[in-house]
Amino acid sequence: MKRTMTAMALTLGLMAGAAQAQTAVKVGIAAEAYPPFASQDASGAWVGWEVEMIGAICAAAELTCEIVPVAWDGIIPSLTAGQIDAIMASMSITEERMQTIDFSDKYYNTPTVVVGAKGVEMAPTPEGLAGKIVGVQVSTVHQAYVEKYFAPTAAEVKTYQTQDEANQDLVAGRIDAIQADSIALDAFLATPEGAACCEVKGAVADDPAILGLGVGVGLRKGEEDLKAAFNKGIAAVLADGTYDKITAGYFASSIYGN
């Protein structure tokens, strides 16, 4: 998910009253397209499920939020350095990340799957991917998972700066399989080239220590007031139907998970 772009920020959310802070909360998203969660339309505006959810959660939390695109592999350093105040970029809540940053409650949770070429027998297991070249996006839970479980038997684990680059190498036959979030790969498989070449081979065995406990808002440690505000916003959109309304515009069923 890496794309050259000019610096830009999109203000979302509503000011709930004079008591609110005057400085907008800078919410970092990945600067690289990750449909259907976040991508740029023809005009350059950021659109997608997660973009809409940022606006809804910030409004419910009574926060003024400003979207700030940041390169994925630098998004946590940008948070800890104070360049952004929160991360809403499909970031899984993991023990490793919690050593550096804090998280809100989850706001979605979907399975992890392996996708490969149609007609090629493989399973999302070490044995099923033995001798295969497996592609993953760098600095993700999927890279960590593949390196732990599949690397010992795979011919190669190839990393990419963007998920789209991995998808395109699969289409071109340069790799045998990719692993990523099921919803993101559903979007790829819905494209003409994805539908023509590839199919889901199955969900990987769950490992919460690596794959996490769902996706949450990443926050600096000690930002308890901001964490409480985001938790309030998440709970509110779940309770009042806003979450389901936004989700219905993108997915056939809920992605909140268990």
The single-letter DSSP state of residue 168 is: H
**Distance of alpha carbon 47 from alpha carbon 125, whole angstroms:** 35
Question: Which of 3-7, 17-21, 109-113, 148-152 is the least confident region?
Answer: 3-7
Closest CA to 90 of 139, 29, 146, 148: 29
Is there a domain that residue 257 lies in?
Answer: no
**Distance of alpha carbon 126 from alpha carbon 124, whole angstroms:** 7
Could you tell me the CATH number of the domain that includes residue 167? 3.40.190.10
pLDDT digits (tens, 9 = 90+) for 112-153: 999 999 999 999 999 999 999 999 999 999 999 999 999 999
Is 195 in the same domain as 237? no
Is 190 in the same domain as 122? yes
Is there a domain that residue 202 lies in?
Answer: yes
Q: Which domain holds residue 231?
A: 10-109+213-248
Is 206 in the same domain as 81? no
**Distance of alpha carbon 128 from alpha carbon 132, whole angstroms:** 9
Task: Kindly give, in sequence order, each residue whose CB lies less than 8 Å from that of residue 65, ignoring residues fewer than 6 positions away.
Answer: 11, 12, 13, 24, 25, 26, 27, 54, 55, 58, 86
**Distance of alpha carbon 139 from alpha carbon 178, whole angstroms:** 15
CB-based contact 3:33 (threshold 8 Å) = yes
Q: Is the pLDDT at 242 greater than 80, yes or no?
A: yes
Is there a domain that residue 5 lies in?
Answer: no
**Distance of alpha carbon 127 from alpha carbon 223, whole angstroms:** 44
Is 25 in the same domain as 77? yes
**Can you tell me the mean pLDDT for 177-204?**
95
pLDDT digits (tens, 9 = 90+) for 32-86: 999 999 999 999 999 999 999 999 999 999 999 999 999 999 999 999 999 999 9
**pLDDT-above-90 percentage for the chain:** 88
Domain count, the chain: 2
